[in-house]
Amino acid sequence: MEKEFIRQVNNHIGILHKVCNSYFFKNPYWEDYFQEILIRLWRAFPNFKHQSSFSTWMYRVAINSAIDIIRKLSIQPVHTELSKNEYEIPVSFSFTESEEKNKLYSIINELNINEKAIILMYLDEFSYEDIARTIGISTSNVGVKINRIKNKLIKISNRYESK
């Protein structure tokens, strides 16, 4: 089971990056949250029943974990300073910042945690049905939300460009 999990996560590691970048953009503890979500994915893996694709399941667990971490940090805000070597992050995992990517995540960062969940899956080409199942709302509601979020993103983007 461990080998299967590692293989699947390795194939879809981009999802983890996207979720972490969206929820913890430029956060000094980005790597720590990345690791915590990875651990929680592994813990949740025995409950993966192949009713959806692995990537859909991974999005669900990773987004849930990220939101849960944000909520829990508001209860336990004290985060002990960690040294870089405590993370043991390989070079390929570290947050590479291209200008385009930075701008994109700066814009996404202005959305609330629920909007981020929906737009992330939309941008990654998931169907409305998949998004609806992951979030737990109706497909038509997904459509309404996506339109609103897209308009909001464009407004934020225009604000950035006019600066």
Partner 1 sequence: MNQNSLKSIWKLAHESKAYNLNNQDYIQSIIRKSHSSGFSKIMKEIKLKIFIYSTSLLTLIGLVIYGFIYLKIELSTAIVLPFMFAGLFLIFKSSSEIVRYSILNNQMDNLPIKEAGIYFGERLAKIIKIDFIIYLALFYSMGIFFLLGLFLNIGGIKAWAISTNLSSLLFIFSFLLFITPWLIRKILNQRYKDVNLNLKNSIDYYIDEAS
158 binds partner 1 (CB under 8 A): yes
CA–CA gap between residue 93 and residue 59 (Å, rounded)? 18
Q: Which residue from 4, 71, 127, 129 is in contact with partner 1, where contact means CB under 8 A?
A: 71
Among 67, 106, 109, 152, binds partner 1 (CB under 8 A): 67
Among 4, 26, 143, 159, binds partner 1 (CB under 8 A): 143
Task: Tell me the closest approach of the beta carbon of residue 110 to partner 1, in angstroms.
Answer: 13
Of these, 19, 22, 23, 35, which contacts partner 1 (CB under 8 A)?
A: 35
CB 141 within 8 A of CB 132: yes
Find out whether 145 and 115 touch, Cβ atoms under 8 Å: yes
The single residue among 26, 53, 79, 127 that binds partner 1, judged by CB under 8 A, is 79
Counting contacts by CB under 8 A, is residue 10 touching partner 1?
A: yes
Helices (H), the chain: 2-11, 13-23, 30-44, 54-75, 99-108, 113-123, 128-135, 139-162
Strand, helix or coil for residue 19: helix
Number of residues interacting with partner 1: please give it, by CB under 8 A. Answer: 79
Binder to partner 1 among 27, 38, 55, 110 (CB under 8 A)?
A: 38
Q: Does 14 bind partner 1 (CB under 8 A)?
A: yes
CA 24 from centre of chain: 9
Please report whether residue 13 would count as binding partner 1 according to CB under 8 A: yes
In the chain the first and final C-alpha atoms are separated, in Å, by 51
Of 111-140, binders to partner 1 (CB under 8 A) are 112-115, 117, 123-125, 133-138, 140
30 near partner 1, judged by CB under 8 A? no
Judge contact between 130 and 56, C-beta under 8 A.
Answer: yes
Token couple for 63:
């987004």
